Amino acid sequence: MSRELLQNVRVLDPVSGSDRIADILITEGQIEAIAEKIAEFPADTEVRDCQGLILGSGLTDIYSHSGEPGFEDRETLESLMQAAAAGGFTRVAILPDTSPPVDNLAGLALLQQHIRNLPPGLPSLYFWGALTAGVKGQQMAELGELASCPVVGFADGLPLSNPALVRRLLEYIKPLGKSVALWPCDRTLAGNGAVREGAVSVRLGLPGIPASAETSALAAILELVASAGTGVHIMRVSTARSVELIRDAKARGLPVTASVTWMHLLLNVGAISGNSKDAGAKNALTASLPYDPNLRLEPPLGNLSDQLALIQAVKDGVIDAIAIDHNPHTYEEKTVAFADSPPGAIGLELALPLLWHGLVETGEFSALELWRVLSARPAVCIGQTPATVAPGVSAELILFDPQMSWTVDGQSLKSRSANTPWLGQKIAGKVVQTWIY
């Protein structure tokens, strides 16, 4: 029988609100006991002194991108799941923009077939069904059929430009009882922009995207939610004004939740020119380029005022969860001029250590606050019961060493792609064990 006793470990459980130093006994994948001191245990128990380490519930990512099927050179489902486990994520929900997309039963069946071929012990993988056929934003996907299958909800992961279609989608989905995730972005206002519009974009000489590209689309979505009464999750919130709109919507009782991607909490547009204290130094692969294309994101990094508003909104609960939005690209795709590079960066292996050192150790968040928005609240946003750390439940846990240093490179990363601004940098914080049963 497999038994482990972790002694003197800091236990974080956002469900019960507990943050304490304790011993924890895990037997055959079940949490058997948690106490200040466990003095009696079977002789065959593996005993580990975990002083300085953190044991917490497994993390949940509510949306990320998979390369497989269709773009396996970017990421396979296996490498994605290995990266997730290495970063402490025990549940990951994948957006439907694969090739073929998950817009019908056949597309979902193909992904489920790929999952059956994965080795055991990897995180749980969930799928969003597409809102529109081919994720092209033109007509409804087979929502009724997909709703009868194990999808966490519906999302294209791309902006929907037709308000009439959004209204019909919300009305149709309401009785299906599934989550809906929408990204507010007006492509006509965004134009060919690459960074957040403002003084920094002018100084960089890069085309800017006004904040109104997000806020005008968000305002329209919130009006449609008020009319239809369908619950909606707002993806990729990135502006201070969006925070105000969501706060007001929640105060009015609208059924909305919201998330921000992890890099928007750590960085602002100043990082592109190297003027952010949190920006990594330029790595050898992008040293010849004026700006690191791994900082080309959608939505773009905000101004400092946006970053500060987002941090406060997460603390206040206006923004419910932090999403990773892991978006792998190949070296060839990313090593081009900033404005020409495809937006997105990897993050499953980096988010926890960088958020810990960027927000917890600086005093912006408590340890429990960070764990809550990476574990419990994301699970609730996709209609799941959060993992908890309590006797008698399955061990869905991670053991995190906040001081272990490692270098972000192709050898240490489990992800097949390495498109991150921290490539080549030494960072602190590593998940040393993941329990998934």
Residues carrying an active site annotation: 325
Whether the Cβ atoms of residue 126 and residue 93 lie closer than 8 Å to each other? yes
- How long is the chain? 437
Q: How far apart are CA 428 and CA 58, in angstroms?
A: 19
d(CA 357, CA 427): 9
Q: Are 324 and 261 in contact (CB under 8 A)?
A: yes
Instruction: Retrieve residue 392's tokens.
Output: 């008698």
Question: Are 258 and 234 in contact, with CB atoms under 8 Å apart?
Answer: yes
Q: How far from 437 is each of 37, 121, 284, 337, 365, CA to CA, in Å?
A: 25, 7, 40, 44, 30
Torsion from C-alpha of 62, 68, 70, 71, nearest 10 degrees: 90
Calculate the alpha carbon distances from 181 to 163, 221, 301 in Å.
Answer: 15, 11, 21
Per-residue tokens: 38: 């466990």
| Per-residue CA distances from 197 to 175, 301, 339 (Å) | 40, 10, 14
Structure tokens at 20: 């304490």
